[in-house]
Structure 1
Amino acid sequence: MRLSWLLAMFALSVQGATLYKVVKADGTVVYTDRPVAGAVPVALPSANTSQSLAPKQDAKPTTTPPKPGIHYNISIQSPAHEETIRNNLGEVNVSASIDPKGTGMFQLVLDGQVVSTKASPQFSLQGVPRGEHKIEVQLVGKSGKILASSPSRIFYLHQASVLNRSG
């Protein structure tokens, strides 16, 4: 920081000064900004400068602005986040809501895999194994593009163990 400031001050101080060339008795050449006996003024070329050009303005934009789309908001109503579901058959009901109402199909994603596609955001799963699972509901347009997606939600499926039977 100090060096750049020092160089800037030096450049400003030298800009308007006259430079002199002195050849000493031993043949060495010395340049100075002070006139001394035997000094010859040195003509310096003018500093290289150029003017910046304003950027060209195109008559029409190169890209078309995106059309304002509908922003859908999907939220999973059931099961609650980190809810424990107790079901020995592995049955899980998933319910979601969307605002505003969308046209398209709804996909249920369980642990990163699409497991069901329906016209409504109500799903009934069968045979889900015990343990932790992550779900997400997506709205898919006619072209197959995902238009909206709910935040991921985790639930736990608890099943009674055959090892803990009393009897």
Structure 2
Amino acid sequence: MNYKILLLLIALGLSNYGYAGEKKIYAWKDKNGVLVFSDTPHKGATEVKLTSQSLNMPATNTDVFNEPTQPQQAAFKIAISSPEHNQTIRENTGSVYVTSRITPRFESGFTIQLFIDGKANGPASDSSTFAIRDVERGEHTLQLKLFNSKNQIIAVSQPCIFFMHRKGLNLGN
């Protein structure tokens, strides 16, 4: 019996040898329902008829896959809208309202931090408007920093100088 199986395998091998010059493709679905293509026949497979005899693809330059890619990030800009540069603010309580303008647009996860005279005025916030209280008389400098969702600085405003005028105390007797 083993002799018959061996003879059958040799006959099948020789029959496939005669077809070696012909390129045939077979298709079938595996046990998971996935379509499988092969050049060897399989039980339940059907032969795929090709419309073109040429199966060669031209060589393609794949060097672009080796180059590291950097995601293109929009160039953000932040500016102080108010107060205006060199503006004098007359406010006896020392209150100043700072508004900002961001281009192209403020995105989710971004935060802004206000600096007055080089010191952070509270933590970074998702608001573009700030209220500063009890600012002393004299010249002050404002600046804004824009942070992305990874807490990286992506834009810094130009410094804005303003002058606070407050009513002074009359200490005379």
User: Which TM bucket (shorter chain)?
Assistant: 0.5 to 0.7
Unaligned runs of 5+ in 2: 1-62
Rounded Cα–Cα distance in structure 1 between residues aligned with 2:89 and 2:67: 51
> What does residue 77 of structure 2 align with?
73
Q: How many residues align?
A: 108
Q: State the Cα distance separating 1:154 from its structure 2 match.
A: 0.4
Superposition map of 1:1-167 within 5 A: 64=68, 66-103=70-107, 104-116=110-122, 117-163=124-170
**Secondary structure at 2:170 match in 1:** helix
SS at match of 2:73: coil
Gaps of 5+ in 1: 1-58
Residue by residue over 1:49-104, the C-alpha shift from the partner in whole angstroms, topping out at 9 and shown as x without a partner, is: xxxxxxxxxx7899836432111121211000000101111100001111111221
Give the distance between the partners of 2:132 and 2:148, measured in 1 at CA.
Answer: 23
- The aligned amino acid for 1:69 is Q
Identity rate, percent:
30
- Structure 2-normalised TM-score? 0.55
Task: State the Cα RMSD in Å.
Answer: 2.4
2:51 paired residue number: none
Q: What TM-score do you get using the length of structure 1 for normalisation?
A: 0.57
CA distance in 2, matches of 1:80, 1:145: 27
